[in-house]
Amino acid sequence: MMAKNLNVSPLSNQKKGLRPVTKKNFITYAMVIAFFILFQTLMSTDNLKNAYQSLLVPICTNVIMALSLNLVVGVLGELSLGHAGFMCIGAYAGSFFSVLTEEVIPITWLRFTLAFAVAAIAAAIAGILIGIPVLRLRGDYLAIVTLAFGEIIKSIVNVLYIGVDSEGLHIAMSSSNLNLLEDGKEILRGPQGISNTPRDSTFFIGFILVMLTLLIVTNLMDSRTGRAIMSIRDNRIAAESIGINITGYKLLVFTLSAAIAGCAGVLYSHNLSSLTANTNNFGYNMSITILVYVVLGGLGNVRGSIIAAAVLYALPELLRGLRDYRMLIYSILLIAMMIFSNGAFFVQLREKIAFRFKRRTAQDAIPGRVE
């Protein structure tokens, strides 16, 4: 009896498995989930110091900021230096809403969810208002304008005084001009910021937000819209010649990135008892720090942004025992990561390893002969 050759089409065999992009995304999801389970277990068994526990929510905040900025810098290919301004808008909008409705909405999870919604909408509106005139600029001009925007937002919240009484909201440029009634309450107090914000942020909520941000970013990048956006980054003229709306897609990315940054601001502000705006948290330094996470993690690299944000934020605290050498070691590690990320030798090495892995996977996918 003659043996039959059962030839299976490689195309049909590939359809049964997951696409490489999907596998890559699942690995990223698994990495974040494993990180959460590990540290949640350490906290529940009292094996994690309080100093390290206090880093978990800020790490989630910085990861979200890095992912949102990566949409603009890595996926769209535009340089933005005012990303901290959107975070500032979200932080103040969320804290203001929470303080204002703390007695009206006693259910914590409901009030906190609404605070995220308010912050995302406020930051998105700011992104649209800034994006419409600004996104026609490119390169250094766009970077300068977004830098100015971030500083303007910080300056505005430092001179605003907002209070509420039975007659409604009162806004002024000084506390004496608020003219509040006896039942009034001053919420935003200029450079003193907002006090008594409910400390609702937890590591679990930070993890949920990171996962939601991951889902949004990865699905956008893998969609038809994402491919259109990346075509603008790769060749603007070619993208425009085939009918892609350059300004429309830029505005979409800028608005989405601003909304995500606003949510990160809520997570940040609800982890503090007092919220103030200064250079380190909502100014130029913060924008540059987030940009460093994105660049070191790799432009357009989602997993790299997560790892860079988590490691680089935690390093100064982990090296605190070394005292005077702490920042020296931190700086050396920054340089080493930059060389590893962009050095020609290391880039070729990574490409060679990736090529061998893909070739081995392709060989495994070739159907064998069954007799």
Do residue 225 and residue 275 come from a single domain? yes
pTM of the model: 0.84
Q: Is 149 within the bounds of a domain?
A: yes
Cβ pair 236, 137 in contact under 8 A: no
- Other C-beta atoms within 10 Å of 92: how many? 28
The pLDDT of 126-133, averaged and rounded, is 87
What was the pLDDT predicted at 371? 43
Do residue 334 and residue 238 come from a single domain? no
Name the residue range of residue 256's domain.
Answer: 57-158+193-307
The pLDDT of 75-98, averaged and rounded, is 91
How many structural domains does the chain have?
2
Do residue 268 and residue 210 come from a single domain? yes
Q: Is 36 within the bounds of a domain?
A: no
Do residue 324 and residue 203 come from a single domain? no
Q: Give 160-205 pLDDT, tens digit per residue.
A: 999 888 888 888 888 778 888 877 888 888 888 898 899 999 999 9
Do residue 302 and residue 339 come from a single domain? no
Whether the pLDDT of residue 328 is over 90: the answer is: no
Do residue 351 and residue 235 come from a single domain? no
How far lies 200's CA from each of 111, 188, 320, in Å?
10, 19, 28
Distance, CA of 43 to CA of 50 (rounded, Å): 9
Q: Give 205-264 pLDDT, tens digit per residue.
A: 999 999 999 999 999 988 899 899 999 888 888 888 888 888 889 899 999 999 999 999
Question: pLDDT band at residue 10, thresholds of 50, 70 and 90?
Answer: very low
Do residue 338 and residue 240 come from a single domain? no
Percent of the chain whose predicted confidence (pLDDT) is above 70 = 83
Question: pLDDT band at residue 343, thresholds of 50, 70 and 90?
Answer: low
Which candidate, 70, 72, 124, 67, places its Cα nearest to that of 93?
124
Do residue 204 and residue 259 come from a single domain? yes
Distance, CA of 369 to CA of 371 (rounded, Å): 6
Cβ pair 366, 10 in contact under 8 A: yes
Distance, CA of 88 to CA of 287 (rounded, Å): 11
| Phi–psi pair at 328, nearest 5 degrees | -65, -45
How far lies 347's CA from each of 67, 181, 351, in Å?
22, 65, 6
Q: What is the Cα 227 distance to its own chain's centre?
A: 20
Question: What is the distance in angstroms between the CA of the first residue and the CA of the last residue of the chain?
Answer: 11
Which candidate, 112, 82, 120, places its Cα nearest to that of 95?
112
Q: Is 263 within the bounds of a domain?
A: yes
What was the pLDDT predicted at 347? 60
Do residue 299 and residue 329 come from a single domain? no
What was the pLDDT predicted at 21? 72
Whether the pLDDT of residue 141 is over 90: the answer is: no
Distance, CA of 205 to CA of 294 (rounded, Å): 23
Do residue 209 and residue 356 come from a single domain? no
Q: Is 76 within the bounds of a domain?
A: yes
What was the pLDDT predicted at 175? 79
What was the pLDDT predicted at 342? 59
